[in-house]
Chain A
Amino acid sequence: MEFKNHICVQNLNVYYGKVQALKNISVEIPDKKITVIIGPSGCGKTTLLKSFNRLIDLMDNVKATGKILVDGEDILDPKAEVVDIRKKMGLLSQKPYPLPMSIYDNVAYGPRIHGTKGRKELDQIVEYRLKESSLWEEVKDRLHDPASRLSVGQQQRLCLARGLAVEPEIILGDEPTSALDPNSSQRIEQKFLELKDRYTIVVVTHILRQAKRIADYVLFLYMGELIEHGPAREIFENPKQKLTREYIQGSIS
């Protein structure tokens, strides 16, 4: 498989105070593919993901060195516009967190913030994105109900729609199915597979079977180090590193 790259990480180090969470990571994330980050808990998966949209900035005492190039622009550069970087990436978190407003307003939130005002235009965006995340049929008659009334699985699809509404290029998922029931999880996975011709998708997961089902490309992190990365088939069928092999066989977790 040939890969074109979308995100290029160069010598990334992230420290929380004195603790180093990521150690000299260099890797390229392929364009319009599903990249899955696997590894035991605490290995830095989420930190790597949240470096991509600079959400690590929210932590106290965090320091990042190195470069993360997205479309050739270094997003760790202090001069980079954080707002523009984040707009490029939709985020799905571990648990869905709808904003405290209606279903409609959740999807319209991003476009409104970026200056879309017209009612018609917003209506179109909301409908289109809710369809894109397969939620439209279930909510079209109650768009103005509070989002908190949806089921958890629906909320996660709503969060997807909210992220897609700002027309990102990249979708980041931080264990996006960990709070969902098997059925809802499957719908999200299915969604990712459908969306990957148009978006670069990066998903953190601790569920190996999920990784096998959806991954085109795999990163294996262990204790803050990138142990191995490569096309999914190679990593799962023929890992080069002993640690990777052990993790995939389930002897470390």
Chain B
Amino acid sequence: MRGKRAIKEKAARYLMLAITGLSGLLMFIMVFALYYRSRPILALKPLTYLLLDTVWAPSRGEFGFLPFIAGTLWVTLVAVAIAVPLCLLTSIYLSEYAGSRIREWSKPPIDLLAGIPSVVYGVWGLLVVVPLIKDQIAPLFGKFITGYCVLAGGIVLAIMVFPVIIHVSVEVMGYVPQEIREASLAVGATKWQTVKFVVLRKALPGIVAAVVLGLSRAFGETMAVLMVAGNVARLPKSMFDPAYTLPALIANNYGEMLSIPLYDSALMLASFILLVVVLIFNIISRMFLVRIERRIQ
């Protein structure tokens, strides 16, 4: 009787260990598999060509990724440029100025933004942002375009990364000990001076981490951007040009036209690049967060 229970106990334990180990390994398996599948194209073309050439014409055997890499960077940077100031001000308000009631009531709706399916953001972008750019914003700059462009992608993405950046920033500012604010206020600093010189300085690594986390979400976001950014495989030259991002490239083309030689491998390489970049972003932000926790304790 006893032996049986001991065996069950052991079996359960090792089963769980195996499952845990598997999910931990999954990451590495995926990286490796993507690399493995992108090897055919890497064997035929030099990496510098793949990353830096601007011509994407798979049927002619030309696989320049630069339009997609540039498109992704453009859209991501526009999103971050819009999101960072707005998020920072929101976080400062929530953390330093708002009373507990406003804080309690405004946090859940902001966090909920993170849970909205990205296709819904895409639809919203189609219905609101694209026409807004077409009819209002672009004409201001003397441009007459369809509205499907870098800026549209950037705006939609900015809103999608709001919750990440705000949540982490508010949390990080919360780590700053109250007494250090008191120390600054006690010598006669105003609240804004205290925020500028003390709270932000103390929370800076955490805020950087928040922004990098936002970046990594923006970088990999697929659906919403695919719906509003235009998807033209050309180097975007301004905010009003259409952009084609790496995730959109993969989502739009995988499973189609795979009879073209090397196409499959090229898309795998795109996924590989995407995964590696997002991984790096995540590691960086993790490092910053660990550092700030240590520094404040």
Binding site for B on A (CB under 8 A): 53, 55, 58, 60, 83-84, 86-87, 89-91, 93-95, 97-101, 109-110, 113-114, 159, 162-163, 165-166
Residues of A contacting B190 in the complex (Cβ-Cβ under 8 angstroms): 83
- Given A60-B100, A109-B197, A113-B193, the answer on whether A97 and B186 have CB atoms closer than 8 Å is no
CB contact between A101 and one of B179, B188, B201 (< 8 Å): that residue: B201
Is there a chain A Cβ closer than 8 Å to B287's Cβ? no
Is there a chain A Cβ closer than 8 Å to B46's Cβ? no
Bound-state CA distance A163–B189 (Å) is: 12
Is there a chain A Cβ closer than 8 Å to B185's Cβ? yes
A93 x B183 contact (CB < 8 A) = yes
Distance between B119 CB and nearest chain A CB, rounded to angstroms = 40
B198 x A55 contact (CB < 8 A) = no
Binary A-proximity of B94-129 (CB < 8 A = 1, otherwise 0): 000001100000000000000000000000000000
Residues of B contacting A113 in the complex (Cβ-Cβ under 8 angstroms): 187-189, 193, 197
B99 x A60 contact (CB < 8 A) = yes
- Given A97-B177, A100-B201, the answer on whether A55 and B186 have CB atoms closer than 8 Å is yes
Give the size of the chain B interface in residues (CB under 8 angstroms): 21
A91: nearest residue on chain B (CB-CB)?
A: B186
Bound-state CA distance A159–B180 (Å) is: 11
A111: nearest residue on chain B (CB-CB)?
A: B187
Is there a chain A Cβ closer than 8 Å to B23's Cβ? no
Bound-state CA distance A84–B185 (Å) is: 11
CB contact between A93 and one of B99, B182, B201 (< 8 Å): that residue: B182
Binary A-proximity of B183-215 (CB < 8 A = 1, otherwise 0): 111111110010001100110000000000000
B188 x A110 contact (CB < 8 A) = yes
Residues of B contacting A100 in the complex (Cβ-Cβ under 8 angstroms): 180, 198, 201-202
Bound-state CA distance A101–B188 (Å) is: 18
Which of B182, B183, B184, B201 is the most central at the interface, judged by chain A CB atoms within 10 Å of its CB? Answer: B183
Bound-state CA distance A53–B180 (Å) is: 15
Residues of B contacting A84 in the complex (Cβ-Cβ under 8 angstroms): 188
30 A–B pairs (Cβ distance < 8 Å), ordered by A: A53-B186, A58-B181, A58-B182, A60-B99, A83-B188, A83-B189, A84-B188, A86-B186, A87-B187, A87-B188, A89-B186, A90-B187, A91-B186, A93-B179, A93-B182, A94-B179, A97-B180, A98-B183, A99-B184, A101-B197, A101-B201, A109-B184, A109-B187, A109-B189, A109-B197, A110-B189, A113-B197, A114-B188, A159-B183, A166-B187
Distance between B205 CB and nearest chain A CB, rounded to angstroms = 11
Is there a chain A Cβ closer than 8 Å to B259's Cβ? no
Is there a chain A Cβ closer than 8 Å to B178's Cβ? yes
Bound-state CA distance A202–B186 (Å) is: 15
